[in-house]
Amino acid sequence: MTTTARDVYVVGLRNAHAMEVQARELMERQSERLGDYPDVQAKVKEHLAETNEQLKRLEQCLEACGETSSTLKDTVQSAMANSMAMANAMAGDEILKNTFANSAFEHFEIAAYKSLLTLCGSAGQEKARALLEANLEEEERMAAWIDAHVGKVTQDYLAVEQRKAA
Ligand SMILES: [Fe+2]
């Protein structure tokens, strides 16, 4: 059997869906524990809402190909996200570890959507382009926000630690 652009595209969509489920899980765990960092908490909650919309857009793309999302893969990914969030929660510098991990995760998502956008035309799914671009733009905005706030988060973390020690 020959592999078609459509096959690669559908696998990519499934992977992106599992990726967003993992992102949602990570942000849900994090948002509960960000009381000391209200600006990060607000941003994470905002991106969590965006992520739920992104999942719906991906489901639309999958349905257009006559596919449903892969629940098995989603389950594995959300278990991984939970254990990652838990491991970071046990670290004293949880906020920093989560910030670095979120930065990496957003860039991973950006690459995944760029790949899907490359494939959607040859997969005969040109109509999906606007949905995938909407997801890409949100990831780019979130990645830029994190990049711009690494310094402030670090200073806030230092202040929180100094307050605790005083
Ligand atoms: Fe994201």
71: amino acid identity, one letter: T
Task: Kindly state the percentage of the chain with pLDDT values over 70.
Answer: 95
92 CA to centre of ligand 1 in angstroms? 25
Structure tokens given for 50:
């965006």
Nearest to 27 by CA among 72, 115, 88: 88
72: amino acid identity, one letter: L
Helix spans in 32-128 (H): 38-64, 71-90, 94-120
114: amino acid identity, one letter: K
Residues with CB under 5 A from ligand 1 (ion): 109, 139
pLDDT above 80 (res 29): yes
15 CA to centre of ligand 1 in angstroms? 14
* pLDDT, tens only, 72-106: 667 777 777 777 777 776 678 999 999 999 999 99
Contacts with 139 (C-beta within 8 Å, 6 or more apart), sequence order:
106, 109, 110, 113
**Over residues 19-24, mean pLDDT:** 94
**Over residues 59-65, mean pLDDT:** 95
Structure tokens given for 38:
């209200």
23 CA to centre of ligand 1 in angstroms? 7
pLDDT at 1: 66
Contacts with 118 (C-beta within 8 Å, 6 or more apart), sequence order:
none
pLDDT above 70 (res 11): yes
